[in-house]
Amino acid sequence: MRRWVLLGFALLLGLLSITSITYAWGKSLYWKRLDVDITVLPNSDIRIVETWDVVFEGGPFRYGYRFIPMDKLVSITDVAVEGPEGPYTFDEKDSEAPHTFSTEIDEGDFIIWWYFPPIYDEEVVFRLAYTVKGGLRFYEDGDQLWWKAVFPYRDYPVLASTVTVHLPEGAKAEKVAVYGIEASWEVSPDGRTVVFQAREEISPHEEMEVRVQFPHGVVEGKPAYWQRKHDFQRTYQEKWRPFVNLGLGALGLFLAVGGILGTVAWWHSKGRDVPVGEVASYLPEPPSDLPPGLMGTLLDEKADLRDILATLIDLARKGAIEIEEERKRGILGIGVKRDYLFRLIDASKATYPFEKTLLREIFEGEEEKELSSLRNKFYAAIPELQDEFYKEAVKAGLFPENPKEVREFCQAAGILILVAAGVLFLGGVCLIESVAGAAVCPPLGLAVIGIALIAVAPVMPRKTKKGSEEAARWRAFRRYLKNIEKYTDLKEAKDIFERYLPYAIAFGLERSWVNKFARVGAPAPRWYRPVLVEGGSHRPPVATSTGKGAVHAAPMPSGGISVPSLVSASQGIFTSLESISDGLFSM
């Protein structure tokens, strides 16, 4: 029972709310007439009297207001408001008491507020009067009165309107016009009075603006600041804006095209390598003693992770380290976990700064290090290694400047230009209406320059003549490694697999290099110890150091273990290379 009572009470509240909303929505009004009397005074002031015949529907209505934009006048004075009861009193404190009015200026609008006792369903006449100063326009060919007698800031219609303009003594209407709606006008015989009559109802937000021109010099005064500004803008829009648009558009196009051509020219003079041509179709041996990592930096002008890996394998080839593959059972004996043990054999084999840094960061003062222990910390050493590659390349005379710094400078310049272009573009958008539609063209042209600089940054590092010649010879050696089976019998050249493997890694050929030699049964590298079982569950022979850095295989027991061939080890070798790359550098 209680539930039904609550439900009935809620329904009653809902009905009362709907009734209140319907009543509020039914509150409306319209102007039965809105007549305006305009008098131009000898001192160029304009006295305006508005008569509002308003029909209120519903209610209550307690106040009225009139917004007057001040963008085309100087000030408004001598405000008076009158209602059915008589003149209203000016209330400086704006207490909103009935039969009072107040004024304020808010965001460029002059506002008149007036207050009256509650009105319901009644026709009431109000009269507003005020003086406009600096609202007349002065020109040599005739002074002009422009006034929006029926203002557009309305949500309700005006059924009829008459606007009467009175000119001072000695003035005569020469040109008459009305804007916004259809209206007729009539000029008195002496030319001093013009009566405008709206021909139709004036809908909400429609306006009726009247214009009367009379001879210059009849009234005192001179153009106000707003008129001078308005006339300048009109002259600019009509005469100069097309030329400004053309100039800004041409400037934007010049910046875009000139920027691209200039960037290409800059690269041609400052970034293009010294042309040396092809030194040979191929070279069967490394053309110099340049280490693989440094050679890779020379060719692509970047010290990347491949160059670091090539350096690591080259250190193993020279006897500085060895790599042992480890396999461990997973949790609860499920699965196999692969890891790699790096063993330091002879650190003196590292002669270049980047080689010494690489060993230091891997081993951290220890003799052995598992790959898994380097996770989440070796990456911090990569920037230092890259910087040492670049410094060594400059020291070797391969580049006149640090390639990384050249790229970063070019990229930074491009980014700064893009930021400047973005700021100017936003400013150009703001100026489209007032200045020119093409105001955004120069910033867009500037943005093209920034994008061009960022795009060309990767190829801006320039090799010296020595560096270009060296790179040409190394490219010839790369062609040899890539197509080695065309130039060499792999079965007779198994010994070069280990020697050239670091270069193959730096060239990006390690996959095909390992596979090609695996097919001809080349021996596994001495420094790599994969987990292999042949005829039993034994490890391959343990490599030992002679104390001078050379690595040799220890004697093996008879009847079981032999040095693994590359056929059996190729999968382990290649997997180890990928794992080293993934483990050290991709994390």
**Residue at token pair 């829009």:** 237
- Please name which of 109, 119, 19 lies closest in space to residue 59, comparing C-alpha atoms: 119
- Please name which of 147, 169, 165 lies closest in space to residue 37, comparing C-alpha atoms: 165
Query: CA-to-CA distance for 516 and 341, rounded, in angstroms?
Result: 26
Q: Are 349 and 315 in contact (CB under 8 A)?
A: yes
Strand 100-106 versus strand 89-90 pairing type = parallel
- Please name which of 148, 184, 149 lies closest in space to residue 33, comparing C-alpha atoms: 149
pTM: 0.63
- Please name which of 320, 289, 281 lies closest in space to residue 503, comparing C-alpha atoms: 289
Query: CA-to-CA distance for 471 and 35, rounded, in angstroms?
Result: 91
The C-alpha angle with vertex 312 and arms to 310 and 316, in degrees rounded to 5, equals 110
**Residue at token pair 């020469």:** 174
Element (H, E) at 385: helix 382-395
What does the DSSP 8-state code read for residue 554? P
468 vs 43, 153, 299, 304, 457, CA distance in Å?
86, 76, 9, 19, 19
pLDDT of residue 430: 83
Cis-peptide, bond into residue 383, ω within 30° of zero: no
Record the tokens describing residue 273, joined without a space: 């390598």
Query: CA-to-CA distance for 146 and 231, rounded, in angstroms?
Result: 14
Q: Are 309 and 301 in contact (CB under 8 A)?
A: no
Long-range contacts of 47-51 (CB under 8 A, 24+ apart): 47/78, 47/129, 47/130, 47/131, 47/132, 48/129, 48/130, 48/131, 48/132, 48/147, 49/127, 49/128, 49/129, 50/127, 50/128, 50/129, 51/125, 51/126, 51/127
CB 524: neighbour CB atoms within 10 A? 24
Long-range contacts of 479-484 (CB under 8 A, 24+ apart): 479/281, 479/282, 480/282, 480/283, 480/284, 481/507, 481/509, 481/513, 482/507, 482/509, 482/512, 483/282, 484/516
Q: How many CA atoms lie within 13 A of 364 on its CB side?
A: 9
pLDDT of residue 583: 44
Mapped onto helix, strand or coil, the DSSP state of residue 288 is: coil
pLDDT of residue 234: 84
- Provide DSSP, 421-472: HHHHHHHHHHHTTTT-GGGGHHHHHHHHHHHHHHHHGGG-----HHHHHHHH
Three-class DSSP labels, 334-378: CCEEEEEEEEECCHHHCCCHHHHHHHHHHHCCCCEEEHHHHCCCH
Query: CA-to-CA distance for 408 and 31, rounded, in angstroms?
Result: 70
Per DSSP, helices labelled H in 267-326 are: 292-300, 305-317
Q: Encode the chain (587 residues) as per-residue pLDDT tens digits.
A: 434 433 343 333 333 333 333 334 468 999 999 999 999 999 999 999 999 999 999 999 999 999 999 999 999 999 999 999 999 999 988 899 999 999 999 988 999 999 999 999 999 999 999 999 999 999 999 999 999 999 999 999 999 999 999 999 999 999 999 999 999 999 999 999 999 999 999 999 999 999 999 999 999 999 999 999 988 888 888 888 899 889 989 999 999 999 999 999 999 888 888 888 778 889 999 999 999 999 999 999 999 989 998 999 999 999 999 988 777 776 666 767 777 889 999 999 999 999 999 999 999 889 998 888 887 788 889 999 999 999 999 999 999 999 999 999 999 999 999 999 999 999 888 888 778 888 899 999 999 999 999 999 999 999 999 999 999 999 999 999 999 999 988 888 888 888 999 999 999 998 888 888 888 877 778 888 766 443 333 344 443 333 333 333 333 333 333 444 444 445 555 555 555 544 444 33
**Residue at token pair 């916004």:** 180
- Provide DSSP, 22-53: HHHHT-EEEEEEEEEEEEE-TTS-EEEEEEEE
**Residue at token pair 């095909």:** 512
Read off the amino acid at residue 424: L
Q: Name the E strands within 120-273.
A: 122-133, 143-150, 162-166, 175-179, 183-187, 193-198, 208-214
pLDDT of residue 333: 64
The C-alpha angle with vertex 79 and arms to 73 and 84, in degrees rounded to 5, equals 135
Read off the amino acid at residue 87: P
Three-class DSSP labels, 500-515: HHHHHHHHCCHHHHHH
* Residues sharing a CB contact under 8 Å with residue 350, sequence separation 6 or more, in sequence order: 315, 320, 356, 358, 359
Q: Are 577 and 309 in contact (CB under 8 A)?
A: yes
Strand 86-87 versus strand 109-119 pairing type = unpaired
In a 10 Å sphere around its CB, with 0-12 CB exposed, 13-18 middle and 19+ buried, how is residue 452 labelled?
Answer: buried
